[in-house]
Structure 1
Amino acid sequence: MRRLLRVEGAKKTPFINRDAHRNFRVAIIVSGVRCIITYLLIPILVPIVGFAGVVAAPLGIALCLVAGVNGVVSVRRFWISDYRGKWMYTWFILFVFLVLAISIVADVARIVSPA
């Protein structure tokens, strides 16, 4: 796993655990915001604002990508710091990545399919 994440020989800093937790929180918050926008706000606003459907899929993809990048950064930091819960977090973030991938595929399908 260390080779895959390219953290072998990475320098530990005193703040690496704090940074790893912060990036984890950001990834989860971005995923939550994406869910709120995608599954709550857009279905309510689409009938009111006609163009919201055009913005929904690209916005969902962008939020998924931001959450994914933050997830990778936090996993790397957990592994660099040799955090005791690194394997549990790695499995959790893999599940989050699966959900994000499914969401991206659905959004891309929504963009390319004729309305």
Structure 2
Amino acid sequence: MSSTVVREASATERAVIPPADRFMRRLLRVSSTDKRVVGSAHRAFRVAILVSAVRCLITYLAIPILIPIAAVAGLVAAPLSIALCLFAFVNGVISVRRFWIANHRYRWMYTNFMAVVFAVLAVTLVIDIGGLVAGA
């Protein structure tokens, strides 16, 4: 195994970075790359997906089953879903940043995938917040 050296990109290396990559690096506040971050990027991805899966299980499986059993579940469902959505969003941003810091070859594919996940989370948040406001 070879050791990876972390260094700033030279002027010629920066010149060949596509404009879209430069935009994403600025948006995510990524100034340099570090190949050692690849493992943590994959770990953050797994955590974000796991949180999203748990949120879906709770929201669409556990709560509909528990609502008839306990009326309190209706009061807990939306705040719990909102908290899990926010947690999944934060973990998603962290994992996208790590993919970009690692300069992972699939960073664009992952960024696009997470954009879809963020859209679903945003819709879920709007529905849950609307339900809380309407119920109050």
Q: TM-score range by the shorter chain?
A: over 0.9
Q: Which consecutive residues of structure 1, in runs of 5 or more, have no partner in the other structure? A: none
Matches within 5 A, 1:26-37: 26-37=47-58
| 4+ residue segments displaced more than 4 Å | none
**Residue number in structure 1 paired with 2:63:** 42
Partner of 2:106: 85
TM-score when normalising by structure 1 = 0.94
- What percentage of residue pairs aligned between the two structures are identical? 61
Q: Confirm or deny that 1:12 pairs with 2:34.
A: yes
Report the 3-state secondary structure (helix = DSSP H, G, I; strand = E; otherwise coil) of the residue aligned with 1:84. Answer: coil
Taking the aligned partners of 2:26 and 2:42, their CA distance within structure 1 comes to 21
RMSD: 1.2
Q: Offset of 1:13 from its aligned partner?
A: 5.8
Q: Which has the higher contact order (CA 8 A, sep 6+)?
A: 1
The runs of 5 or more residues in structure 2 that have no matched partner are 1-23
The structure with the largest alpha-carbon Rg is 2
Distance 1:25 1:66 in 2: 13
How many residues align? The count is 113
Letter in structure 2 aligned against 1:26: V
